């Protein structure tokens, strides 16, 4: 039972990271119907910026964290303002390829600037242990969950109780109607990319915490968030969050128990487990747990 509890807690911490990554995908998709393949690169960018500011420039971790998050958000906003705004009306394939190209450019720049050598993210917790309900867990995991929950609650409040949240919900519901009533769609799109950059930086920093490290390869983790997005429903922020936690728990429980009870599946089966869950769910609910079914005329 203790092993299960430890795996469950680790799964929730990992799920918190997936929830943040999935939220970044979903916010951009809801605002502009764009699948943002650059989210993983933004995650790696944020983590590496924070690491560099702490190790190379000697800044306190929290100050480096704030600066790194701001710079990552600015990178997302710059891409939207300088590239994507000129792709309005272009085929969906073209826009998706633009985000993929942005991801490759950022990834190449990170490799050139930082190299592939893993480095510390500079967090103040390291390998320190906390005791929660009789379980010995790392402080990184505790703060990952706390920070993710605070951010997700803050996003929900903004989405429900501010004029920008109302504008984003209106754009997601009907873009043409939103434009007709004077909602500044370009500003909404820019805000979506700013939020995507912010949550990507937070996810990257905590993902690079003990026992992991920070390197450009962190961007690959975004592919694990895809099952979370599809599981919850690609246009649902609530679904993205719930899907992230589900996928994190599934992955950790699989990595903990599968080698012992189903070794014939191989050592890396936990990598495939989230996609298997996604496939099974899509056979039952094609639009995910909370995704909206498109309206059909009869």
Residue stretches of the chain with pLDDT short of 50: 298
Q: What percent of the chain has pLDDT over 90?
A: 40
Tens-digit pLDDT profile for residues 72-126: 999 999 999 999 888 877 887 888 899 999 999 999 999 998 888 888 888 888 8
Domain regions of the chain by residue span = 2-284
* DSSP code per residue over 218-276: GGGGHHHHHHHHHHH-TT-HHHHHHHHHHHHHHHHHHHHHHHHH-GGG-TTHHHHHHHH
User: Which residues have C-beta within 8 Å of that of residue 89, sequence separation ≥ 6?
Assistant: none
- CATH code for 2-284? 1.10.3470
- Model's pTM, two decimal places? 0.91
């Amino acid at each position: 039972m203790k092993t299960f509890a430890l795996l469950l807690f680790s799964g929730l911490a990992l799920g918190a990271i997936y929830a943040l990554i999935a939220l970044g995908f979903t916010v951009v998709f809801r605002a502009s119907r764009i699948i943002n393949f650059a989210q993983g690169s933004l995650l790696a960018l944020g983590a590496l910026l924070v690491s560099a500011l702490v190790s190379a420039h000697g800044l306190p971790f929290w100050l480096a964290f704030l600066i790194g998050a701001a710079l990552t958000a600015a990178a997302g906003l710059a891409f939207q303002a300088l590239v994507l705004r000129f792709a309005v009306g272009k085929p969906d394939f073209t826009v998706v390829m633009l985000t993929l190209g942005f991801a490759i450019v950022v990834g190449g720049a990170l490799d050139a600037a930082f190299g592939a050598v893993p480095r510390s993210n500079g967090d103040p917790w390291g390998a320190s242990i906390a005791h929660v309900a009789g379980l010995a867990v790392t402080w990184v995991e505790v703060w990952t969950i706390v920070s993710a929950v605070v951010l997700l609650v803050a996003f929900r409040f903004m989405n429900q109780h501010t004029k920008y949240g109302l504008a984003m919900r209106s754009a997601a519901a009907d873009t043409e109607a939103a434009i007709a009533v004077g909602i500044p769609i370009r500003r909404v799109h820019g805000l979506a990319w700013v939020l995507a950059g912010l949550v990507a930086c937070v996810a990257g920093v905590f993902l690079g915490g003990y026992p992991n490290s920070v390197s450009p390869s962190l961007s690959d983790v975004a592919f694990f968030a895809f099952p979370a997005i599809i599981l919850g429903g690609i246009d649902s922020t609530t679904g993205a969050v719930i899907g992230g936690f589900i996928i994190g728990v599934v992955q950790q429980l699989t990595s903990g128990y599968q080698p012992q009870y189903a070794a014939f599946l191989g050592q890396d089966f936990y990598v495939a487990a989230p996609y298997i869950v996604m496939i099974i769910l899509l056979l039952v609910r094609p639009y995910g747990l909370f995704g909206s079914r498109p309206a059909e005329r009869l």
